[in-house]
Amino acid sequence: MRHGDRIASVAYIEVNDNSLLNVGRYTLDDGGAAFDIAVIFAANINYDGESAYLSFNENVQHVLDNVDTCVRPLQQKGIKVVLSVLGNHQGAGIANFPDRRAADRFAQELSTVVRRYRLDGVDLDDEWSDYGANGTGQPNPFSFVYFVKSLRKKLPNRLITFYVIGPSAENQEYEGLRVGDMVDHAWNPYYGSFQDYEVPGLPQSQYGAAAVDLGSDPSPELVEQFAQRTADGGYGAFVTYQLQPGDQSELVSAMTEPLYGSRAKFG
């Protein structure tokens, strides 16, 4: 699905460096938000010697502890706020749960956090797990599929998005189940590029091929080109990373004009 009736604009915010609230500072001509989805980047998957568990560094924990001031202002503007989760060099990740029970246990832990803090969903990113470290298993064909199935059951009305990278990207189907049938969006993980990656079951109207790093000062012409290709190609999302604290309305407008027919105002 698209975000409402329009292409979803996505902002990954590395909260170690920048404020999530930057996402809400951009508005369109009609007063609506320029961005649809803000991603808290990122929670980690740690390993305690037996099982994977969810972990937050002090900056992510600060956002969660202060949702009333860090998250609710965005949600009140119609921006969905999701929590990204990825590995932490300890051998545990979404691609190597040893069985269905282990996948379900971590899905329960993650869904509990989403509900506790009233977030709008989760983003799944299979990076930095270092599979095999600390005696952990290697990626297997069923882990990711079982995990997403369990997560979807526990979060039926929340967003689940997939950053198409890592071993999970190579293990999206198992025993008739397809990750693309269970997630809301998936997208290209390589900033500065426009690429299609296969996500069986996911229509193009839920996929984002364009990805730009706003922290690297890309040219407005490149952003505009990617946005126009997104609109013309029937894609469902446009992904950005590291929106900066200052006024980047020229770059944001290069995205919003082709996508929504409106410039973006910084305020």
- Checking if the pLDDT of 5 tops 80, the result is no
Q: What is the pLDDT of residues 139-150, one digit of tens each?
A: 999 999 999 999
Show which residues are catalytic.
127
Mean pLDDT, the chain, integer:
97
According to the 3-state scheme, what is the secondary structure of the chain?
CCECCECEEEEEEECCCCCHHHHHHEECCCCCECCCEEEEEEEEEEECCCCEEEECCHHHHHHHHCHHHHCHHHHCCCCEEEEEEEECCCCCCCCCCCCHHHHHHHHHHHHHHHHHCCCCEEEEECCCCCCCHHHCCCCCCCHHHHHHHHHHHHCCCCEEEEECCCHHHHCCEECCEEHHHCCCEEECCCCCEECCCCCCCCCHHHEECEEEEHHHCCCHHHHHHHHHHHHHHCCCEEEEECCCCCCCHHHHHHHHHHHHCCCCEEC
Mean pLDDT of 222-242: 98
2: confidence class by pLDDT, cuts 50, 70, 90: very low
Reply yes or no on whether the pLDDT at 1 is more than 80. no
Q: For 58-104, how does the pLDDT look when each residue is reduced to its tens digit (9 = 90+)?
A: 999 999 999 999 999 999 999 999 999 999 999 999 999 999 999 99
In the chain, the percentage of residues whose pLDDT exceeds 70 is 99
